[in-house]
Chain A
Amino acid sequence: DTGVSQDPRHKITKRGQNVTFRCDPISEHNRLYWYRQTLGQGPEFLTYFQNEAQLEKSRLLSDRFSAERPKGSFSTLEIQRTEQGDSAMYLCASSQSTDTQYFGPGTRLTVL
């Protein structure tokens, strides 16, 4: 399978705990994006990388959120001190340059 993969697919955590998600992009793609999607809404941009450089972060991304792409390949998204409002589907996408973005299956986060 050469598509975008995400791990885990589902995560249930208690309020105040830290969680980390992983995304593996399509191998030849140099750009990697993170989105958040809640029920009935379209995906909402969080941040993106070109190779290992984080080029833009949404104003929606609070200080509790951090993302890395250390070697320009896979990426991690960490949420510290989770809140119930963080419950959502977290989507990763990759692209070659500014062309079409291809999405992974998502990580469903539930904060109790």
Chain B
Amino acid sequence: EDQVTQSPEALRLQEGESSSLNCSYTVSGLRGLFWYRQDPGKGPEFLFTLYSAGEEKEKERLKATLTKKESFLHITAPKPEDSATYLCAVGGNRDDKIIFGKGTRLHILP
């Protein structure tokens, strides 16, 4: 069964303190790994799609990387506006669904 585990559940950082969020997954044939940002009371906002091990994508202070078993979301010199829940999801080749992890709640202190 496809599964996604995110760690840590919550993370508090000082502004400018870089860190990484982890997404471990098991899937029968990876179709894609997806990162989303979600603010309280809103729908998930798309960040990145990664398709194969070794792939990396960047957007502003965020960089996502992918291996055969996990993905990392690296946050460099974060700002308070980066505070949100970051969700990881995987899609397999068996069906068209994507399975989400529970997310990492990130809080950046000014």
Contacts and interface: CB of A to CB of B under 8 A. Distances in A.
Contacts of A48: 96-97
Given A56-B95, A98-B31, A44 B46 contact: no
User: Mostly helix, strand, loop or mixed at chain B's interface?
Assistant: strand
Contacts of A105: 42-43
Interface residues of B, number: 24
Contacts, number: 54
A45 B91 CA distance: 12
Interface string B78-104: 000000000101010001111111110
Contact of B44 (A40, A43, A44): A43
Q: Which of A42, A91, A103: most chain B Cβ within 10 A?
A: A42
Centre residue among A40, A99, A101, A106 by max chain B CB count within 10 A: A101
A52 to B, nearest CB: 16
B49 A41 contact: no
Interface of A: 4, 6, 31, 40-45, 48, 55-56, 91, 98-106, 108
Interface of B: 4, 31-32, 34, 36, 41-46, 49, 87, 89, 91, 95-103
